Amino acid sequence: MQCPSGHNAKEEADQPSCCCHHLLYNELDFVNIKSLLKEHCEKRGFMVLILPKYHCELNPIEMVWSQAKYYYHLNPPSTKEEDVECYAMAALVAVTTDEMWR
């Protein structure tokens, strides 16, 4: 999904089709419409980063959940609530910052 060349869609609009991020960022549906949330926040002086609409695969939190599920499934199966909670917490802690941005 990310640009193999490391381009920034905002800065380099001259390469609109080198990766999914560029394709989505340069779509007219995304470029011309401000969300009500963004307008509301900007009126109050907040800077907002809105991820592309309807494309959860570009959202970094999805990478965190994916890695956490992977780590969770490395544990032996259990139906005990304390085991499930322990495995879940350990899986979330195991996700590194580098894995979040792959």
Whether the model clears a pTM of 0.85, i.e. scores above it, the answer is no
For the chain, give every domain's residue range: 1-53, 59-100
Place of tokens 């640009």: 3
Confidence grade of residue 9 (pLDDT, cut at 50, 70, 90): very low
What's the mean per-residue pLDDT of the chain?
78
Evaluate whether 72 touches 48 at the Cβ level (below 8 Å): no
In DSSP notation, 17-80 reads TSSHHHHHHT-HHHHS---HHHHHHHHTT----PPPTT-GGGSHHHHHHHHHHHHHTTSPP---
Confidence grade of residue 69 (pLDDT, cut at 50, 70, 90): very high
The distance of Cα 79 from the centroid of its chain, to the nearest Å, equals 31
Task: Please classify residue 11 by burial: count the beta carbons closer than 10 Å to its beta carbon, then call 0-12 exposed, 13-18 middle and 19+ buried.
Answer: exposed
Give me the pLDDT at residue 59, please: 72
Give me the pLDDT at residue 47, please: 84
Q: What share of the chain in percent tops pLDDT 70?
A: 67
